[in-house]
Amino acid sequence: MSSPTTEDAPTALSHGPPPQPATGECLVAMRGLSVGYERAVALRGIDLEICRGEFVGVVGPSGSGKTTLLRTITGQVRRFGGELETMARPAEDTLRLGYVPQVDTVDWNFPITVEQAVLLGRWREMGWRPWPRRRDRELVAHLLERLGIGKLAKRQIRALSGGQQQRTFLARALIGDPDLLLLDEPTSGVDIKTRHEIMHLLGELNRAGTTILLTTHDLNAVATHLPRLVCMGMGEIVADGSPEEVLTPEVLRRTYGAEMLVMRRGRAIYVVEHLGEPADADAPELAWDEPAAASEAEVGSPQLGG
Amino acid sequence: MGGLAEPFEFEFFVRGLIAAGLVGVLCAAVGIYVVLRSLAYIGHGLAHSIFGGAVVSFVSGISFYVGATIWGVFSVLLINGAARRRQIGGDAAIGIVTTSAFAVGVALISRQGRFTQDFDAALFGEILGITSGDLYVIVGVLALVALILFFWWKPFLFTTFDPDVAGSYGVPVIWVEVLFSLILAATVIASLQVLGVTLIAAALVIPPVTARLLTDSFTRMFFLAVIVGGLSGFGGVYISWFIDVSSGATVVLLQATIFAFALTYASVRARWPGGGWGGEGRLAAIENAPID
């Protein structure tokens, strides 16, 4: 049995090109975009560009429109106004997307094995045959091996740990060789170790050239380690920039509608929910070494993908 | 031995036997998608709805198959349309549309003041009254369903497993939904004469659920369900000859018996020391803790 060739393997996991931070070549551009469902507008006046090689996180409270933003890119919402441009590959008419849904939307009792679930991501390339060709199986085996779940191909998806389940759906997204990887709450409901593994893996993929857009509720363990954050509140973009730029008490108040403290030490940032009286608007940002601040050991977290 | 072969001497019985086996296969193949989409109620409802169409076609003097097809497709489109409205759930939409359509049939029968043999067959099935024409319809629908499921295997599987995500991977989800609705309606219409309105839902649901107890692979589940459906259709009609019980009821009772055996097997296997993943059943899947 021969191994898949370099050309066969999804580029996201290949050893090929070195990491390419935002090249300026935009895969997705939204200008004044308003979208929603049926007659209800869910996102208003969205201006956002996602460029090749970027790793972008979207944060915001439940109902702020994070998932709708991803569904806008996948074309599953109704457009009310504005423009949405996506950059298709040469000789293809659409942008290739890899989508990893929230784990709680998956029917874990469905009679499907890891291999069968991953092959769905390659349904177009497999042609009309119901059964996979040897090359398809080899590609799946290669990808699962690279993601560390090579021995689980024949296992039903319920019989996996949280991290293995995420890797399975990540494999389904990657096997189609996507231009843009969309992940909806990839660290939701997983333990700390699994969260670190997932974020480490995503960091590796990004350094290998994959453009990633993910949503997260986890400000401290996920969002603060990403190079770019988009803060969403009430269906609008409140702020867009690096964590250092956007994680301020003022932006967080507008995003979450709640007072939050922001502690900084060097490049490390830690956000704390303010449970007491509304803080003085001028003073909620604390230095890390203030007496009231948490110790470094309590909040230390490795840099993404490091 | 001659006694066991006796029913095969009658052409009408052989025709009924073949029809029941094919309908068992047909219902099981379509039923897999019904069960995995949690739409077991739609089979029951659609059969009732199409009964209304059968009565309307009888009263109007048009062919049963033409009337029932128009009625069935119309019902499915109405259900899909109503279910898309967020204020109405899918189950409620099925309940409203199908019971209303059934009520039309009942109202027309009460206006007529007589209950004909045809309606009796539509309600409870009349396997031994299967004509060559009925058999051709069953073979035609089975061939059509087989072709669609063969060439659209992956889009159907993707849409059934993960409809939201399938769209983002370029699967034409709406077309899959429309096609599924149409083959479901065609299956119910083709099965009506064999099983009757009241028993179709069982033939759609029991073989796939039985297969689900025995495997965690979609492909194996499909073939197991089809085998259970075909054998129970064939076997049920054959047994009914000797015990003098309605053939449709015997088919469903045989399916229920196989289901009971599968459930017992899956339960024992899941509890058997070291039996865990060898069983690959749904019970095992639920009861085995995640492995890191």
B216 part of contact set with chain A, CB < 8 Å: yes
Question: pLDDT category, A277, cuts 50, 70, 90?
Answer: low
Q: Domain B7-287 carries which CATH code?
A: 1.10.3470.10
Cβ contact, residue pair A159, B288, below 8 Å: yes
Of these ranges, A20-29, A260-269, B211-220, the one predicted with the greatest mean pLDDT is B211-220
pLDDT at B89: 67
Ordered by start, the domain boundaries in chain B are: 7-287
Contacts of A163 in chain B (CB under 8 A): 292
Distance of alpha carbon B221 from alpha carbon A264, whole angstroms: 55
Cβ contact, residue pair B221, A111, below 8 Å: yes
Task: Identify the residue with better confidence: B173 or A18.
Answer: B173
- Does residue A60 carry a pLDDT above 60? yes
Element spanning B138, H or E: helix B132-151
Distance of residue B132 Cα from the nearest chain A Cα, in angstroms: 33
Contacts of A176 in chain B (CB under 8 A): 169
Q: Across residues A3-17, what is the average pLDDT?
A: 38
Contacts of B154 in chain A (CB under 8 A): 119-120, 123, 126, 130
Task: Identify the residue with better confidence: A238 or B70.
Answer: A238
Interface test with chain B among A73, A76, A123, by most B beta carbons within 10 Å: A123
B175 part of contact set with chain A, CB < 8 Å: no
Distance of alpha carbon A236 from alpha carbon A242, whole angstroms: 18
Cβ contact, residue pair B168, A94, below 8 Å: no
Reported ipTM: 0.79
- In this structure, is residue A305 part of a structural domain? no
Cβ contact, residue pair A99, B165, below 8 Å: yes
Q: What is the DSSP letter of B272?
A: S
Contact A175, A12 (CB under 8 A): no
Q: Across residues A137-145, what is the average pLDDT?
A: 92
Contacts of B167 in chain A (CB under 8 A): 74-76
- Does residue A301 carry a pLDDT above 50? no
Measured at the CA of A143, the angle between CA A137 and CA A148, to 5 degrees, comes to 125
Element spanning B100, H or E: helix B90-112
Cβ contact, residue pair A110, B161, below 8 Å: yes
Q: What mean pLDDT value characterizes chain A?
A: 81
Task: For CA atoms A219, A220, A226, A227, give the dihedral sign.
Answer: positive
**CATH code for the domain in which residue A233 is found:** 3.40.50.300
Cβ contact, residue pair A158, B218, below 8 Å: no
Distance of residue A188 Cα from the nearest chain B Cα, in angstroms: 17
Contacts of B221 in chain A (CB under 8 A): 111
- In this structure, is residue A1 part of a structural domain? no
Question: pLDDT category, A304, cuts 50, 70, 90?
Answer: very low
Q: Which of A84-98, A165-179, A208-222, B246-260 has the lowest mean pLDDT?
A: A84-98
Give the 3-state secondary structure of chain A: CCCCCCCCCCHHHCCCCCCCCCCCCEEEEEEEEEEEECCEEEEEEEEEEEECCCEEEEECCCCCCHHHHHHHHHCCCEEEEEEEEECCCCCCCCCCEEEECCHHHCCCCCCCEHHHHHHHCCCCCCCCCCCCCHHHHHHHHHHHHHCCCHHHCCCEHHHECHHHHHHHHHHHHHCCCCCEEEEECCCCCCCHHHHHHHHHHHHHHHHCCCEEEEEECCCCCCHHHCCEEEEEECCEEEEEECHHHHCCHHHHHHHHCCCEEEEEECCEEEEEECCCCCCCCCCCEEECCCCCCCCHHHHCCCCCCC
Tally of domains within chain A: 1
pLDDT at A280: 52
Contacts of B86 in chain A (CB under 8 A): 38
Q: Nearest to residue B158, comparing CAs of B169, B148, B150, B147? A: B169
Interface test with chain B among A96, A109, A112, by most B beta carbons within 10 Å: A112
- In this structure, is residue A267 part of a structural domain? yes
Question: pLDDT category, A238, cuts 50, 70, 90?
Answer: very high
Distance of alpha carbon A295 from alpha carbon A286, whole angstroms: 13
Q: Nearest to residue A140, comparing CAs of A10, A16, A12? A: A10
pLDDT at A22: 52
Contacts of B29 in chain A (CB under 8 A): none
Spell out the per-residue pLDDT of chain B, length 292, in tens. 457 888 788 888 899 899 999 999 999 999 999 999 887 777 778 888 888 888 888 778 888 788 888 888 888 777 767 666 666 666 777 778 888 888 888 788 777 766 566 666 677 777 878 888 889 999 999 999 999 999 999 999 999 999 888 988 889 998 998 899 889 889 988 888 888 887 888 899 999 999 999 998 999 999 999 999 999 999 999 998 899 888 888 998 999 999 999 999 998 887 776 554 444 445 443 333 333 3
Quote the longest CA-to-CA distance of chain A. 68
Strand-pair partners of A211: A180
Structure-token pair, residue B143: 């061939």
Distance of alpha carbon A12 from alpha carbon A99, whole angstroms: 14
Distance of alpha carbon B193 from alpha carbon B64, whole angstroms: 11
Distance of residue B154 Cα from the nearest chain A Cα, in angstroms: 6
Angle between helices B40-60 and B64-84 (to 10 degrees): 140
Q: Which of B154, B168, B286 sits opposite A76 (nearest CB)?
A: B168
Closest residue in A to B280 (Cα–Cα): A156
Amino acid at B290: P
| pTM of the shown model | 0.80
- Does residue A33 carry a pLDDT above 90? yes
Q: Which of A31-35, A249-253, A273-277 has the lowest mean pLDDT?
A: A273-277
pLDDT at B88: 65
CB contacts < 8 A, A to B, total 93
pLDDT at B274: 57
Q: Across residues A272-278, what is the average pLDDT?
A: 63
Owning domain of residue A145: 11-299
Closest residue in B to A160 (Cα–Cα): B290
Contacts of A117 in chain B (CB under 8 A): 161
- In this structure, is residue A229 part of a structural domain? yes
Distance of alpha carbon B60 from alpha carbon B64, whole angstroms: 10
Task: Write out residues 138-167 of B within 8 Å (CB-CB) of A.
Answer: 150-151, 153-155, 157-158, 161-162, 164-167
Cβ contact, residue pair A162, B290, below 8 Å: yes
Side-chain-side CA neighbours of B26 within 13 Å: the count stands at 30
pLDDT at B84: 62
- In this structure, is residue A285 part of a structural domain? yes
What DSSP string describes B47-95?
Answer: HHHHHHHHHHHHHHT--HHHHHHHHHHHHHHHHHHHHHSTTS-HHHHHH
Cβ contact, residue pair A116, B219, below 8 Å: yes
